[in-house]
Amino acid sequence: MVLALAAFFVRAEELPPDPAQSLRAATLSPDDEKLVRGWFKELGDENFDVRNRAQNNLTNKGPAVLPIARDYYNDPNHDIAAGAKSLRRTILLNFDGYFPTDPALNDALAKAVDSRVEWQRNEKKEISPALTLRSVCQKNNIKAEFDASSVNTEYTFPSNENVFDFLEFNNRRAPKQTLGDLLQTLAMTCQARMIPRGDQILIASPDTIQRLSRERYTFDWSSLDFNRDEAARAEKELSPFFASAETEIHSGSNALLVIGNDDALLRAARLVALLNPKFPDSVWPASNGAADILLLERLNTPATIQVSSDNISTVAAALKKWNVLFQSAVGEAIVNRHARSEMATLSLNFSQQAVPLGLVLRWCERRAKFTNANDAAALAFDINSENQLVLQLRTSQFSATDPVCAADVSFLYKSPAEFNAETDAAARKQLLTAFESHLAFFPQLDPGRLRVFRGRLLAQGPAATMRRLLTMLADWRKTKKPPEPAAWRTELDKTLDAELDWNGQGLTGGKLLSALRKQGKVNILLEDGPNGAANFELTSADAELLPPGRHTLRSLLDSLVAKTNAQWRVDLGVIVIAPK
């Protein structure tokens, strides 16, 4: 397959700082700092109502006041000093605004660790979940705070072998998991839950953690000059980026309120900034695209594969020559696992014609099904930060933490550009159509998370896919021409329209597909419908399809699906036949 290489990395340019970093590092303005210092002084007021109001005001300001609180730890007024010292704990338990998690803590919690823990016992030799959790935190340099008002740190398991054996059995079921998952499991054994808050974790009651997990932040977007209708439309276009039921967004002309977890608020900060038409094409978080041309060559490497197995190690072996990594949900290599990972049989046969390696991996992703997986429901194709091709077990093929990107697509509108729901939808349709074949061999982009609003493209997906998207857009703007279909699509269309010397006499339904694959030199996959596969029990006359002579593969396929009440399509480099 011939590939015309183009520049495949975001052009080097001065980009604005990542707004997520600005959100994490929010500080008080000079006026706010003056106000906050006044509230600390009021903690020593003789009037209870004044003291209580000052305490509430400081709590509602959130973690930004904590550096100032240190100035009052040794205040000569006992009430001021005591209030300043207790403020951190009060904010930990009560502040429902944005409490950013320290990036170092996030990295530590995402690290894969051994699930087997040394269960700690109290003086009565009873298993103590709280002591065990503290021990694991100490071992991993994690600061932990227990809410003594809602967590019984004295809770223990009875010292009998049955309970201990059950806990050890759970350890053996998942020998590796993230440190965050391990700590969450240990918190649950304390009849509590865990949440990261700033540079430490908080262990509190399930109700408290549920409340604190829904942080809120109001983003000022008054500079975008939205009227009420435009703000409502912007909210609608942003909604697909916050698919979780735990996230709420509410818009007004001047502001956007987002209620959700830490990831949702960071994503919102980026998206609001990217709506600005003056922003250059950007991907946040930024990623290195220096080796993208080599990556593009690799994804276009012609590949053939024939595999049918429910053992993920067998599938890994079939892809070994292309150095594809198979990983668990925590990044652990899984090719040496003896278990079958509870995967249903994955069948692929691309032996008639080589297809780009990226398309093969997309088919592995699509066809892999897990019947009773504990740590995953999907096999996702991705490209890691070292440009390695990865198939990873995940709970979902699409990740909520993928980067977001934006670009100017106003050149797709008629001049003078008129931005409304109809013109935005038309621009989005142009983009999806033009880029479909080019992005097909990259890690999957959820079409629902590619939006256009007032001449701005907004998208979320794997980093390499986002970089490829922006590169093609930059070329389109420069040349004023949309990209031609990818080479694999052009060649497959030529194959479909080329005439074959066809003679179907003597064929049966069982041999018909093999004959089409062999003569057409194409890969044909069957796809089940709601009621199973298409019925290929044809009479000898129907199996002929068309009279002997020269016919295009396209016309033969049309005849086949007409006789079997099926339909066919081109999908990821192959022909797919499915029931209607």
Q: Angle CA(153)–CA(154)–CA(160) in degrees, nearest 5?
A: 125
CATH class of 498-579: alpha beta
Of 63-67, 286-290, 527-531, give the lowest mean pLDDT range. 286-290
Across the chain, mean pLDDT equals 87
Mean pLDDT along residues 70-91: 94
Burial class (CB in 10 A: 0-12, 13-18, 19+), 152: middle
C-alpha to C-alpha distance for 115 and 138, rounded to whole angstroms: 16
Mean pLDDT along residues 96-122: 88
For 456-477, what is each residue's pLDDT tens digit? 999 999 999 999 999 999 999 9
Q: How far apart are the first and last CA of the chain?
A: 32
In this structure, what token pair is assigned to residue 263?
């990831």
CATH class of 103-211: alpha beta
pLDDT for position 132: 92
Burial class (CB in 10 A: 0-12, 13-18, 19+), 476: buried
**pLDDT cut 70: percent of the chain above it:** 91
> Quick one: pLDDT band at residue 117, thresholds 50, 70, 90?
confident
**170, pLDDT greater than 60:** no
> Quick one: pLDDT band at residue 72, thresholds 50, 70, 90?
very high
**277, pLDDT greater than 50:** yes
Q: Are 577 and 525 in contact (CB under 8 A)?
A: yes
Burial class (CB in 10 A: 0-12, 13-18, 19+), 256: buried
Q: Could you tell me the maximum CA-CA distance found in the chain, to the nearest angstrom?
A: 103
pLDDT for position 7: 42
CATH class of 27-94: mainly alpha
pLDDT for position 402: 92
Measure Cα distances from 383 to 241, 282, 299, 409 in Å.
Answer: 21, 19, 10, 26
Residues contacting residue 167 through CB under 8 Å, at least 6 positions apart: 119, 127, 157, 189
DSSP assignment letter at 63: G
For 217-268, what is each residue's pLDDT tens digit? 999 999 999 999 999 999 999 999 997 788 999 999 999 999 998 899 999 9
**166, pLDDT greater than 70:** no
Q: What is the pTM of this model?
A: 0.86
pLDDT for position 398: 83
> Quick one: pLDDT band at residue 14, thresholds 50, 70, 90?
low
